[in-house]
Structure 1
Amino acid sequence: MPKVKTSKEEVLRKVIPILRIRGVQNSSMSELAKACNIQKSHFYYYFNNKEELIKEVLSLVYSYFNYNLFKTIDSASLSLPEKMIKMKQLLQKIFRTSDGGCIMANTALETIHRNPIYKNEIRMFFSDFIEGLQRLLVSHHSSEKALALAEQIVQDIEGGILLAQVYNDQKYIDNAVSRMERIILNR
């Protein structure tokens, strides 16, 4: 019999890996509840429906990524190479291909044309990712060039995640992150 006492945050953390791998449409509330070791009805204590659950998952991932990205970028105590090390660690954690890649991109690809209810959360995530990279690049480039490079880096990383999934080869994301590092460090 599943246990009943689980915090909302614990539920959200436990469903993230499943949603990253199986996606929104292929993850039933019953399956998610089982992974959390709770009754399906317990989900409805925290969330009115699956859409609300997904929005909260995306919000949690966004908040975590955003906080850690800007904490690193805005740190006055870190050198640019040290910031790159921390950013690479963050990207590895958020976009880990063994866990299904980028939950934001996966959710966008799966839902954006059929039911774009998560579009704003996904857009905010990518906008802030681009803005953070732009902040690092503006020291060596004009604002316009920094924005173009930041957009290119995000596109490259997301493409790397996709190809890593398709070919089951981490080198694609590693190569994209290496290119990001060269661009940001101006090498």
Structure 2
Amino acid sequence: MNAREKKSPGDRRGGIIATATEMFVKNGYAGTSMAQLAKACGIQKASFYHHFASKDDLFIACVTEGYADAVNVLIELRADASLSDPEKIERAIRSLYETIVVSPTGRLSPLVAEVSRTMPSVAKGFHRDYIAHQRSALADLVRDGVESGSFKAQDFDIFHHLVFGPIVTLSLSREMFADFDDLDDHFPVQKLCEGHLASIMDLLAP
């Protein structure tokens, strides 16, 4: 991109969300001001409000839009005829660990819990735009496997709890103790993912 080219509004919005997500993770919601965000994004504070009406609106966008790619991964897995049903579930679980535990967007989970009481729109938007779609996409993968005979039928309320509970707990734990020098010794993501995945596959096995 040369000096005369300008970023499209979509590019600018995406860049702001990415930068803001990193800052919210680092400084917390209360510790991140609009002035700091504008400076980090390289725009004037007044111009910032052309993109987002408030810090609340920006935070909601970070939480909801940041997960869009994660939902698309699950949807695309279902359509991939080259993969078996167990392979789709395996990739789905690994994707959830990457999104919820490792990615900057996933690391916003503690802040969602922190601000949802005073900003109910955050919790509602998070559930509407991510959790509901995520649960639906995962359920579709399992239903396909049940229909093909690869999996046994599941109570999806229990199944979703068994899938997401350990992942969210790990994400919150790693953020709670993020300053530990031996964080990976206490909460080894890869090892826990492998053990969790094995348990899920045992649960699904016909």
Q: TM-score, length-normalised on structure 1?
A: 0.78
Aligned to 1:54: 59
- What does the per-residue CA deviation read over 1:73-121, in whole Å, with 9 as the maximum and x for residues that have no partner? 4422222454355435533542344848532x22321112222121112
Deviates more, 1:158-167 or 1:168-177: 168-177
Are the equivalent residues in 2 in contact too, given 1:30–1:40 (CA < 8 A)?
yes
Aligned to 1:31: 36
Are the equivalent residues in 1 in contact too, given 2:92–2:138 (CA < 8 A)?
no
State the 1:25 CA deviation: 2.1
The reply on whether 1:158 has 2:172 as its aligned counterpart is no
Deviates more, 1:118-127 or 1:153-162: 118-127
Aligned to 2:152: 141
Aligned to 1:110: 114
Structure of higher CA gyration radius: 2
**Whose RCO is larger (CA < 8 A, sep 6+)?**
2
In the alignment, the residues of structure 1 paired with residue 157 and residue 47 of structure 2 have an alpha-carbon distance, to the nearest angstrom, of 44
Are the equivalent residues in 2 in contact too, given 1:73–1:136 (CA < 8 A)?
yes
**Given residue 161 of structure 1, which amino acid in structure 2 is its aligned partner?**
S
Aligned to 2:13: 8
**Given residue 41 of structure 1, which amino acid in structure 2 is its aligned partner?**
A
State the 1:129 CA deviation: 2.6
- What does the per-residue CA deviation read over 1:25-72, in whole Å, with 9 as the maximum and x for residues that have no partner? 221111111221222222112111112212222231132221122212
Give the unaligned 5+ runs of structure 1.
Answer: none
Give the unaligned 5+ runs of structure 2.
Answer: 1-5
Aligned to 2:100: 95
In the alignment, the residues of structure 2 paired with residue 100 and residue 59 of structure 1 have an alpha-carbon distance, to the nearest angstrom, of 9
Are the equivalent residues in 1 in contact too, given 2:100–2:107 (CA < 8 A)?
yes
Are the equivalent residues in 2 in contact too, given 1:160–1:172 (CA < 8 A)?
no
The sequence identity of aligned pairs, in percent, is 20
Q: How does 1:161-172 map to 2 (within 5 A)?
A: 161-168=171-178, 169-170=183-184, 171-172=187-188
In the alignment, the residues of structure 2 paired with residue 107 and residue 37 of structure 1 have an alpha-carbon distance, to the nearest angstrom, of 24
Q: TM-score, length-normalised on structure 2?
A: 0.72
Deviates more, 1:75-84 or 1:18-27: 75-84
* Coordinate RMSD, CA, aligned: 2.8
Which runs of 4 or more aligned residues in structure 1 lie more than 6 Å from their structure 2 counterparts after TM superposition?
none
Go from structure 1 to structure 2 and tell me whether the alpha carbon gap of 1:184 and 1:46 turns closer, same or farther (over 3 Å shift): same
Aligned to 2:3: none
Classify the secondary structure of the residue corresponding to 1:26.
Answer: coil
Deviates more, 1:117-126 or 1:83-92: 83-92
In the alignment, the residues of structure 2 paired with residue 29 and residue 153 of structure 1 have an alpha-carbon distance, to the nearest angstrom, of 36
Go from structure 1 to structure 2 and tell me whether the alpha carbon gap of 1:42 and 1:90 turns closer, same or farther (over 3 Å shift): farther
